[in-house]
Every structure is written in structure tokens, then in C-alpha cells.
Amino acid sequence: MKIYTKSGDEGETGLLFGGRVSKDDPRCEVVGAMDAAVSAMGFARALSESDLVKETLLRVQREMFVAGAELATAPENYAAMSQRVATVTPEMVAGVEAMLDTLDGRIELPHAFILPGTSPASGAIDLARSMLRTAERRAVGLKDRDLLPNQEVLRYLNRLADLLFMLARYEDKDRTLDLVKPIETKG
């Protein structure tokens, strides 16, 4: 089987479990943003010096394919998809929250904005986080168009972006962070 199919040459692509849509369909936008975030996570994992960060990023990259399958499936095919592949569950969200709680107990956040780029790995994690926020916004657009049957996907993406923020801080826990103090208003 060849890697190219030529079926997308006219600007359309296939959804999982059936249906074709334009490549600028909102589902393609969110799946593309997820793909970018997963790739940035892989780059961060390759740069990381922390086993905890590497293991967490690998787990999250795998889980993102679960969310991606849901986002790439038309609502009318969701039931068939959910019988054959895993879906985002409250337990997945709870797992991210548990990791957030673990990291929160291991690092102290400053009372200032943190500039990304203290280390190559944390910079890549922050890049992945910003890409994931784009995916999250695109997923909200699917919800608003009644194209997102499982609302747990939104909760998962939201918590996951928070986890990436904390992983970047954990990666740099022994480094001096570049900070920006919030602008004080004059009264």
C-alpha cells in the first residue's frame, strides 16, 4: 500500500467511520491542531532530562489519539466508533488531575508571568501547550455546532493544557525562571 492515495487531491478528506468533508472543515482544524500539539510533545519528550516528564508526555501523546478519534468522527457515526475504540472518559480527566496534584506538591509557582524558554524542553512543552489551547478552542467550536457528542473531550483538553504548563515548570524546577511581573495599575 502506498502512502499517497490521491483521494484528497480535490481538498476533501475522510472522517473516521465514514463520511468525507472539506479539509477546512472544523473537525479537520481541531484534528490538525491536536496533531501539532502531539508533535510538539514528542519534541519536548526528546529534549527532556526528566524521566517523570518523559513518561507523562508519552502517556499523554497516546491519550491524545483517543481524543483525536472522537474529534475526527461525525456525530452520526459516534455510536459505531465508541463500540470499537476507546473514548475520553471521566477517569482520563481524573488521571490528569491526579498528575496535576502530584506536580503541584513538588514545585512552587512564582507570583509572576513565566517566559517560556528557560530550557529547550520546557520551551517545547510550552509550545505544545499553546498548540493544545488552539485545539481546545477548535473543539469548543465543534461543541457549538453540535459536532462533539462527548463533552469529556473538552474537560480533558482543558486539564491537559494545565498539565503541560506544570510539566514545563517541573522540567525547570532547579533553574532560574525568566519572569515578568504583572503590570501594576496606578490609582
> What residues make up the domain containing 22?
12-180
Rounded distance, CA 185 to CA 55, Å? Answer: 42
**Nearest to 54, CA basis, from 156, 143, 171, 140:** 171
Number of domains present in the structure of the chain: 1
Exposure class string for 107-139: b at 16+ Cβ within 10 A, else e: eeeeeeebebebbebbbbbbbbbebbbbbbebb
* Residue 96: its H or E element: helix 90-104
Q: What digits encode the pLDDT tens for the residues 6-63?
A: 877 778 888 889 889 888 889 999 999 999 999 999 999 999 999 999 999 999 999 9
In a domain? residue 175: yes
In a domain? residue 122: yes
In a domain? residue 160: yes
In a domain? residue 4: no
Q: CATH no. for residue 90? A: 1.20.1200.10
**Three-state DSSP class for 177?**
coil
pTM, 2 dp: 0.91
Residues 6+ apart with CB under 8 A from 109: 169
In a domain? residue 185: no
Q: What digits encode the pLDDT tens for the residues 101-157?
A: 999 999 999 888 999 999 999 999 999 999 999 999 999 999 999 999 999 999 999
